[in-house]
Amino acid sequence: MSTNTAAWIRAKQAQLEVKSAPYTPPRENEMVVKNHAVAINPVDWITQLLGNLIFPWIKFPFVLGSDLAGEVVEVGKAVSRFKVGDRVLGHAVGAAKKRNSPAEGAFQTYTVILAHMAAPIPSTMPYENASVLPLALSTAACGLFQKDHLALEYPSATPKPTGKTLLVWGGSTSVGSNAIQLSVAAGYEVIATSSPGNFDYVKKLGASQAFDYNSTTVVKDVIQAFKGKTLAGALAVGKRSAEVCLDIVHACNGNKFVSMASTSVSFETLAQRPGRLPILILQIVSSSVSLLVKSRVRNIRTNMINGITLMDNEVSKVIYEDFLPQALADGRFVAAPDPHIVGKGLEYVQAGFDAQMKGVSAKKVVVFL
């Protein structure tokens, strides 16, 4: 039997510790991947700071991590899409309530993943590039395609133009990078926001126009850009993105829906001042109430994305089975943003958390294993 090692979190606010972990064989619809690269998401360091406030069911010690790329080493009896030796990327869902399993966290050598949350990757694609996709891709897909969100047409190799335009606020985030590409592949025009230094980046991914989210005239400018267009809805990514998207959507014609990926506060200040948590919670509650009132009064629908809900509906198959493998192979979908590799070995996952918390610009923090 293989020996396994994991970057464990033993308690709230404890630094990660690399120690041995059990090797867990796959059940029917699962497979085990030997990870070659893992990527870090904001939720990883936020969970380290907040303990089990986001995932109240998890018990420490736990293994976090959503993004992995590696080689299949064992498949469950019901898995027919993959075989031992396949190169894959996978969205690890160990922190999901239904899974609640350290064996299914990405930050270890061998991770158990659900086969339907994985996709084969082209032989030419390095693992570190593939690892940037899973959670951001899933989150974008939940917001764009789920029936309780924007319910857009699905992406395909031959998209029919829908004649509609989507707003992606935060186009240079990992989630935004995937959202732009997915919606273009589904036949939508995309207007995005980012810093000016990333205008070319979001346009290369498929946005037709880009606006600076920090500009004092951005709301007016984006509304102007939507003149004569039919809105497909807005995907709001980034701090306070939902508030501005509500103002824009209110002034546009079309689908008055804001699908929200982010809360209105950021948590990195807690690293220095953990005592601020009650204030942040109060800010989240008060801004959620204000968003609710603002959206109801204006007749705009909103929904908060949970980037793992696709694992229980048809969107996971649409993305990980029907669309992504061929789109990656054809180069129609790229692994964006580029990886920023912080080191080799599980010992670097903590450095990865720290780097992601400090902030990135159109980059994904990755640890090579």
Ligand X SMILES: NC(=O)c1ccc[n+]([C@@H]2O[C@H](COP(=O)([O-])OP(=O)(O)OC[C@H]3O[C@@H](n4cnc5c(N)ncnc54)[C@H](OP(=O)(O)O)[C@@H]3O)[C@@H](O)[C@H]2O)c1
Indicate the length of the chain as a whole number: 369
Q: Binding of ligand X at residue 302 (CB under 6 A)?
A: no
Interaction of residue 259 with ligand X, rule CB under 6 A:
no
195 lies in the site for ligand X, by CB under 6 A:
yes
Residue window 333-362: x/- pattern of binding to ligand X, with contact defined by CB under 6 A = ---------------------------xxx
Q: Is 131 in the site for ligand X (CB under 6 A)?
A: no
Q: How far is the CB of 91 from ligand X (least distance, A)?
A: 11
Candidate residues 262, 264, 295, 302; the one interacting with ligand X per rule CB under 6 A: 262
In the complex, the smallest distance separating the C-beta of residue 108 from ligand X, rounded to whole angstroms, is 21
Task: Please say whether the dihedral angle defined by the alpha carbons of residues 126, 131, 137 and 142, taken in this order, is positive or negative.
Answer: positive
CB of 16 to ligand X, least distance (A): 19
Q: Helix or strand or coil: residue 15?
A: coil
Q: Does 97 bind ligand X (CB under 6 A)?
A: no
In the complex, the smallest distance separating the C-beta of residue 120 from ligand X, rounded to whole angstroms, is 23
- Residue 252 within binding range of ligand X, rule CB under 6 A: no
Q: State the number of binding residues for ligand X (CB under 6 A).
A: 28
When binding is defined by CB under 6 A, the residue of 237, 315, 319, 328 that contacts ligand X is 237
> From its phi and psi, is residue 292 left (phi > 0), alpha (psi between -120 and 50) or beta?
alpha
Stretch that binds ligand X, among 49-57, 148-156, 285-293, 304-312 (CB under 6 A): 304-312
SS3 of 308-339: CHHHHCCHHHHHHHHHHHHHHHHCCCCCCCEE
Q: What CA–CA distance (Å, rounded) separates 106 from 114?
A: 12
Q: Is 267 one of the binding residues for ligand X (CB under 6 A)? A: no
**CB nearer to ligand X: pick between 270 and 305:** 305
Residue 314 near residue 324 (C-beta atoms within 8 A): no
134 makes contact with ligand X (CB under 6 A): no
Interface with ligand X, residue 313, by CB under 6 A: no
Judged by beta carbon, residue 71 or residue 268, the one nearer ligand X is 268
Contact 363, 338 (CB under 8 A): yes
Per-position b or e across 87-119, b if 16+ CB within 10 A of its CB: bbbbbbbbbbeebebbbbbbbbbbbbbbbbbbb
Site membership for ligand X, residue 68 (CB under 6 A): no
- Return the residue of 70, 206, 307, 352 that touches ligand X, per CB under 6 A: 307
| Complete DSSP assignment for 106-159 | SSBSEEEEEGGGEEE--TTS-HHHHTTSHHHHHHHHHHHHSTTTT-PPPP-SSP
Residue 138 makes CB contacts below 8 A (sequence gap 6+) with 91, 117, 307, 308, 310, 311, 316, 319
Task: Using the rule CB under 6 A, give the single segment among 153-161, 179-187, 220-228, 237-245 that binds ligand X.
Answer: 237-245
Strands 164-169 and 118-120, bridge-based pairing:
unpaired
User: Which spans of this chain sit near ligand X (rule: CB under 6 A)?
Assistant: 41-42, 135-136, 139, 169-170, 172-175, 194-195, 198, 213, 237-241, 261-262, 305-307, 360-362
